[in-house]
A = this chain, B = another copy of it.
Amino acid sequence: MALSSTGYVVLGMLALGPRSGYDIKQLADVSTRHFWAISYGQIYPELSRLAKAGLVKAEDASRGTRHRTIYHLTDPGRRLLKAWVANPELEKIEIRDEMLLKLFFADAMSRKDTVRHLDAMRRRHEEIAAGLRETEPMAASQPHRMKYEVLKFGVALHEWCADWYSKLGRDLQSEWRAGNDV
A interface, CB within 8 angstroms of B: 5, 8-9, 12, 15, 31-32, 34-37, 81-82, 84-88, 90-109, 113-114, 116-117, 120, 124, 128, 144-147, 149-150, 153, 156-157, 160-161, 164, 168, 182
21 A-B contacts, Cβ less than 8 Å apart? Answer: A5-B98, A9-B101, A12-B101, A34-B95, A35-B101, A36-B96, A37-B94, A88-B113, A88-B120, A90-B99, A91-B97, A93-B98, A94-B94, A94-B96, A95-B96, A100-B153, A104-B146, A145-B182, A153-B164, A153-B168, A157-B161
Q: Would B146 and A103 count as touching, CB distance under 8 A?
A: yes
Cross-interface CB contact of A106 among B9, B85, B102, B160, cutoff 8 Å: B85
Minimum distance in angstroms from A154 CB to a CB of chain B: 9
Minimum distance in angstroms from A148 CB to a CB of chain B: 10
Question: With A and B bound together, what is the CA distance between A149 and B156 in angstroms?
Answer: 21
B88 touches A116 (CB 8 A): yes
Residue picked from A103, A107, A168, most chain B C-beta under 10 Å: A107
Give A127 Cβ to nearest chain B Cβ, in Å.
Answer: 9
Asked, given contacts A86-B109, A88-B120, A120-B88, whether A32 binds B94 with beta carbons under 8 Å apart, the answer is no
CB-nearest residue of chain B to A158: B93
